[in-house]
Amino acid sequence: MQFFNMHLMPYADVDLEAIRDHGTAWVTFSNRHYDPVKGADLYNRYLDELEYADEMGFDGVVVNEHHQTPYGLMPTPGVLAGALARSVKRGKVAVLGRALPLVNNPLTIAEEFAIIDNLTRGRMIAGFVRGIGAEYHAMGINPTESLERFNEAHELIMQAWTRPGPFVYSGKHYQFNYVNPWPTPYQKPHPPIWTPSQGSSQTIRWAAQNRYTYCQTLSPIATVAKFFDMYREEARKAGYEAAPDQLAWSNTIYVAESDERAMREARPHMEAMINGFFKMPVEMLLPPGYTNVESLKRIRAAKVIGKAQTLDDLVKSGVVIIGSPETVREKLEEYQDLAGFNTSITKTQFGTMPTEMARDNITAVATEVIPHFRDRLPRPVDNKEAVNA
C-alpha cells in the first residue's frame, strides 16, 4: 500500500468558542478572527510537517482547496504545492484537488498544474473536484451548474494538456479563441488524475470510466467499501478490472504507545475538528442542485449533519484509526481487506493539534505502520473468512 500525507492546514489557533457561538466556521464566520501573524507561523509549520513526512518515507504529500474558513487555509492550493515542489525531494506532490466549477477560467488550473509538474519533474498528481457545497456560497457560483461546469472545465483542461495549441475552445460556460498554454505538463500525456468525492454516484461512475483514481473522503469504512464496490462495478461495465491502486481511502490516523493514550491525546483535537471546524448547517453544505433530489432527501432524512460526534463514534464507525501501533496496523489491515484499496491518504495533523504531536505522529506512522504495509495488497474478505473458519 502507498501512503500519502495529507494536510488540511486548519487555523489551529481559532477561537472555538467563537465558532460555537456563530454556529459554523464557514462562509459567514468572520475573518476578523484571523490573525496573520499566527497564520504565517501556521503556514510555515504545516509545510515543515509535510516536508518531514516526505523525509520519513511517505510516498507523497497532499494539499487541497477550501474557501473562506479556518477549516483549511488553502484557497489556492497551487501556492502551497509550489512551495512544496522545491522542498519535497522524494515524494509526489498532489493537489486533491482544485474545484474546477469555482473558476471562471479553468485554463489557469491547466497552467498552474503544468508548472508544478515541471517544477517537480513529473511528481505532480492532479486532483479535480467540484468542491463542497459551502464553496458555492463562498464563491458565488451557481450550484445547479456545478456538474456542467465541472465536465466542461475537465474537457478543456485535458485538451489544453494533450492537444498542440493554439486551438479554439467553444463551450457553454467557457470560450477561448486561443488555447495554447505554456508550459505543458512534464508527464505525458498528462499528470495522473485523482478524484476525491464524498460518494456521489455520478462522480464514482465518471472516475471509473476515465480510469482516474477515486478517493473517498471522511466516511465510515463500511460506506467506503460500498462506494469502492460501486467503482469496481462501474469499471467492469466500462470493460476492465479496477486495480486496488485506483482506490484511495482518505483517513486520519493517530498513533501513540497505547490505545488509551492515543485516544486521550487525539480526543480534543479531533472533536474540535469534527464539531467545530467542520460544523455547518445542511443548507450550507448542500445548496440546491449540488446533489440530485434523491441524495438530498436521503441526507436530510438521516439528520446526521450538525450532530455532535465523539472520537469514540468516529473510531467505532471506522472514519479514523486511533491507537497503539498494533491496533492501528490491525484496523488498517481489516479495512484494507474490507474495502479493497491500496492507497492511504492519511491526515496526521487535525484540528487544533500542536506541531510536536503532529510530528511524533508522522514518525510513528512512518516507522510503525508504513513498513508493515509496504508490500501488502488487499486480500479478498471471503477468503479471509474461509481461513478464520
Q: What single-letter amino acid sits at 47?
A: L
Does 288 contact another protein by CB under 8 A? yes
CB of 135 to another protein, least distance (A): 13
Q: Does 312 bind another protein (CB under 8 A)?
A: no
Q: Which of 86, 188, 236, 297 binds another protein (CB under 8 A)?
A: 297
Per-residue contact track with another protein, 168 to 207, x per CB under 8 A? ----------------------------------------
Max CA distance (Å), the chain: 65
Residue 301 C-beta: closest distance to another protein, Å: 9
Nearer to another protein, 214 or 290 (CB): 290
Window 18 to 37, contacts with another protein (CB under 8 A): 27-28
Give dist(CA 290, CA 136) in Å, integer. Answer: 9
> According to the binding rule CB under 8 A, does residue 137 interact with another protein?
yes
Give 122's strand partners. Answer: none
What is the closest distance, in whole angstroms, from the C-beta atom of residue 293 to another protein in the complex?
5
- Could you tell me which residues come within 8 angstroms of residue 169 by beta carbon, excluding any fewer than 6 positions away? 156, 159, 175, 176, 179
Spatial separation of the C-alpha atoms in residues 176 and 1, rounded to whole Å: 42
Q: Which is nearer to another protein, 140 or 164 (CB)?
A: 140
Beta strands in the chain (DSSP E): 2-6, 60-63, 92-99, 124-129, 167-170, 175-179, 193-197, 213-216, 247-255, 321-323, 343-347
Q: Which is nearer to another protein, 203 or 291 (CB)?
A: 291
Tell me: does residue 140 bind another protein (CB under 8 A).
yes
CB atoms within 10 A of CB 209: 13
Contacting another protein (CB under 8 A), which of 287, 318, 323, 351?
287
H or E stretch covering 320 = none
Size of the site for another protein (CB under 8 A): 20
Q: Which stretch in 137-145, 213-221, 341-349, 353-361 sits in contact with another protein by CB under 8 A?
A: 137-145
CA dist., res. 1 & res. 235, Å (int): 21
- Number of Cβ within 10 Å of residue 108's Cβ equals 15
By CB under 8 A, is residue 144 in contact with another protein?
yes
Q: Work out which of 220, 289, 373, 376 binds another protein, going by CB under 8 A.
A: 289
Q: Which of residues 255-284 bind another protein (CB under 8 A)?
A: 281, 283-284
Strand partners, 215: 196, 248
Q: Tell me if residue 221 falls in helix, strand or coil.
A: helix
Q: Closest approach of Cβ 286 to another protein, in Å?
A: 10
Q: In terms of CB distance, is 91 or 133 closer to another protein?
A: 133
- What is d(CA 189, CA 184) in angstroms, rounded to the nearest whole number? 10
Least distance between another protein and beta carbon 288 (Å): 4
Instruction: Specify the residue, 144 or 177, whose C-beta has the smaller distance to another protein.
Output: 144
What residues contact 254, with CB distance under 8 A and at least 6 apart?
Answer: 262, 265, 266, 270, 320, 321, 322, 323, 348, 350, 361
Kindly list the residues in this chain that would bind another protein in the complex (CB under 8 A): 27-28, 136-137, 140-145, 281, 283-284, 287-289, 293, 296-297, 300
